[in-house]
Amino acid sequence: MKHATLVLAFFVLFVLVAIAQKRTIVNPTYEVKNSGIDNVAKIELTDTATLLSMHITFVPHWWVTYDSADVIRDCATGSEYKVKELRGGVFNKYIWMPDSGDSTIVLVFPPLPASVKKIDYNKQIFGISLDRTATGTRKPAVVSPSINKWIQEQLSKAPKATLENYELPTFFNDKQSRLIGCIKGYDPRLGFSTGIIYVANELTREDYPVVIKIEPDGRFEAEIPMNMPKYTHAIFNERYGIPFYIEPGQTLCMILDWDEFLTANRKANIRYPFKNIEYRGALASLNKELLTYPTSQFSYEVFDKKRKTMAPLDFKADQLKGYDNNMTQYSEYVKQHSLSQKAKTLLCNRIMLENANILFNYAMDRNYYAKQDSTNKMLKIPVPVSYYDFLKQLPLNDPSLLVCNEFSEFINRFEYNELFMKTQAQFYASQNAPQLKPEKNFLEYLDEEKIQITPEGRKFLSIVVKEHPTDDERKQLEQMREVSKNINEKYKELLFKYSQKYVLPLAQSNNIKREIEIWKLKDCTLNNEMGLEPNMIYEIAKVRSLNFSFKNAASKENASALWNFLKQGIKTPYLTTTGQELLSKAFPEKQVASKPLPQSAYADVFRKIIDPFKGKVLFIDFWATTCGPCVGGIKEMKATRAKYVNNPDFDFIFITDQKSSPEKDYNNFVKEQEMKNTYRLSTDDFNMLRQLFKFNGIPRYVVIDQKGDVLNDKFEMWNFETELGKILPAYNK
């Protein structure tokens, strides 16, 4: 009996010690997280380890990884504890998700001091409670009274009247709009404090990235330059697009829920359709109508297979069958739901434009894929002209087409469609393309400039400048390769100056004449092959060509000749006004040497970078390690940077962002290229600079003068040596 009592006492003591040494928290609460994939299902705290059981929910047959550098962090002290073991997987190796899309692993960390009350897991899950009594379901986030009051104040200042329809007299309107709202459940620890709206002027090809500034309490706002109504997206956390419709001069409010962002994170295999959005303001009901319409997911894999296995007319018939089904679904939906006329118009337009884009994309890439797969007979079947008769079904004079997000792709495919491109190619291949003949050849230019040249050099050039050299002269040129090399090296700068004086102006004037002839041929193609009358979409294509054409026109006289021809076929007043403004912008009456940076938070980010270099001209390079052209440009300029290193007059500055330039790749490349003055900004700060200089794509080059003003915000770095002499005459060779 005594022995049994001792055994029982020992067992009780053992259990009490075990309980004291092990504490388990099931479904611990947390404050905020930016991963919808990882969920801490259980935490076990012992004297020897801290175990986090992670329940993973993700796309079936996709993978996740865990890093040997993962940590948990004491929220109070910031002390970090690095992971020691991964159970259920291998560090830095793929863990494939099963059919269910659910899996569990255990991360083993060092033991935590008893004083730790809350921990963070990496920079993914914040404020995980170690209190066993604090488990349970999190309460849904709500809009705070202060934010509600702010929203009401902002909306009270906005116009109450919206567009009645999309007819031309009121459709185009140059007024700024505002997007406001809040993200319920937002926390600055999520790692982003900006969103972005890709605002594009479809009439001019100009991009206006607009930053959405997010305050610590989750409220956000953005001011959007507009010239027409748009149905577009606001991008948050670099990944998630939230749809919204807005009109010039209006203010729209969106209330978003961070939990839905986490759902989108889990469903990364699709373009997640956000539905839990509350709109407020005069355009709220129309936004809700557009949001709730059921849409299907486009499958690129299915499209790609059809493109490579179906003949053009078979693909078209198949696509039009799907289009008819979508239109039938739309008609049934309209019968069952009370929709505004504007909603009906936009929903119908989106279906039509998506269908047209798919048909265009099939035809557009066939030559590329045919070269990749020369044995594929389907890809060798030419696309007949009749393939494009789907364009006849589109309302090409209806401005409402421009509202839809799909229009951006449509207008690009329309202006570069196969029939137009063939017309252009045939023109250049024909004898109608005028040949260049400068007023003076290079040899005559050297004599004009009284440049001494060797007899061998003179003989070589006298043959080179001939339009029709004899066979014997061609043989002589082959034997004079060393002379050719010496001339190219010795007279490099003179060749450039000759080109600038005699060749380039002639080429640019000739380019305008060619463009006019090509547009005449396109007019015929539009009417005779495509069976279309002149229309507003075709007018837009003409206006969209102007920026590039004016840039290469050299003189206002040349540019005006082109514009005077094109505007004869433009009947939409706003487009005529836009074209005239582009001409005035390209050739201003008064040249402005530089312009000061605006007084804004965006400019302040930039000033912090450039202020230490005051007194120097700065060549700013916006780049990324993940951008091929950026990397190539920096490599090409390495010798030039070395040539001018430590010079007192100008300097190079390189700006990238953390997401586009991973730290390891960034450090290695900077070292390899011997780059100085490099800045790797947060995505938020980089977004601000994108808005400041209005760029989406990189590389982008900007020149800042000695006072810190903007000298050129679209600098051509490839022509650095020549442009340097124009900016700093002392370097003019």
Q: What does the pLDDT read at residue 501?
A: 75
- pLDDT above 90 as % of the chain: 76
DSSP string, 57-106: E--TT-EE---TT-EEEETTT--EEE--EEETS-TTS-EE--TTSEEEEE
Please say whether the beta carbons of 583 and 550 come within 8 A: yes
More confident residue, 221 or 5: 221
Q: What is the mean pLDDT of residues 180-185?
A: 97
Question: Is the pLDDT reported for residue 623 higher than 80?
Answer: yes
CB atoms within 10 A of CB 422: 13
Q: Which structure tokens are listed for 180?
A: 């406001």
Q: Which structure tokens are listed for 715?
A: 């600098």
Return the biggest CA–CA distance within the chain: 126
CB atoms within 10 A of CB 669: 18
127 phi-psi bin (left φ>0, alpha ψ -120 to 50, beta other) = left
| Whole-prediction pTM | 0.86
Please say whether the beta carbons of 422 and 368 come within 8 A: no
Q: Which structure tokens are listed for 489?
A: 């090296």
Using CA atoms, how far apart are residues 420 and 515, in angstroms rounded to an integer?
13
For 553-610, give the secondary structure using H, E and C. CCCHHHHHHHHHHHHHHCCCHHHHHHHHHHHHHHCCCCCCCCECCCCCHHHHHHHHHH
Q: How confident is the model at residue 552 (pLDDT cuts 50, 70, 90)?
A: confident
- pLDDT above 70 as % of the chain: 95
> CA nearest 586: which of 621, 618, 549, 615?
549
Residues ≥6 apart with Cβ < 8 Å to 453: 446, 461
Question: Is the pLDDT reported for residue 162 higher than 60?
Answer: yes
Question: Is the pLDDT reported for residue 7 higher than 60?
Answer: no
Q: What does the pLDDT read at residue 455?
A: 86
Question: Is the pLDDT reported for residue 630 higher than 90?
Answer: yes
Using CA atoms, how far apart are residues 299 and 296, in angstroms rounded to an integer?
9
Q: What is the mean pLDDT of residues 163-185?
A: 95
Q: What is the mean pLDDT of residues 520-526?
A: 97
CA distances from 70 to 109, 117, 123, 129 (A): 9, 20, 9, 19
Question: Is the pLDDT reported for residue 420 higher than 50?
Answer: yes
Please say whether the beta carbons of 244 and 232 come within 8 A: yes
What's the residue count for the chain? 733
Beta-ladder partners of 233: 243
More confident residue, 371 or 351: 351
CB atoms within 10 A of CB 176: 11
Using CA atoms, how far apart are residues 139 and 88, in angstroms rounded to an integer?
31
Burial profile 435-453: b = 16 or more Cβ within 10 angstroms, e = fewer: eeebeebbbebbeeeeeeb
Dihedral, CA of residue 467, residue 468, residue 473 and residue 478, to nearest 10 = 70
CB atoms within 10 A of CB 275: 9
Residues 311-332 have pLDDT tens digits of 999 999 999 999 999 999 999 9
Q: What is the mean pLDDT of residues 551-576?
A: 93
Question: Is the pLDDT reported for residue 593 higher than 60?
Answer: yes
Q: Which domains does the chain have, with CATH numbers?
A: 21-134 (2.60.40), 145-292 (2.60.40.1120), 300-416 (no CATH), 601-731 (3.40.30.10)
CA distances from 280 to 179, 222, 248, 287, 693 (A): 10, 15, 16, 9, 31
Please say whether the beta carbons of 215 and 146 come within 8 A: no
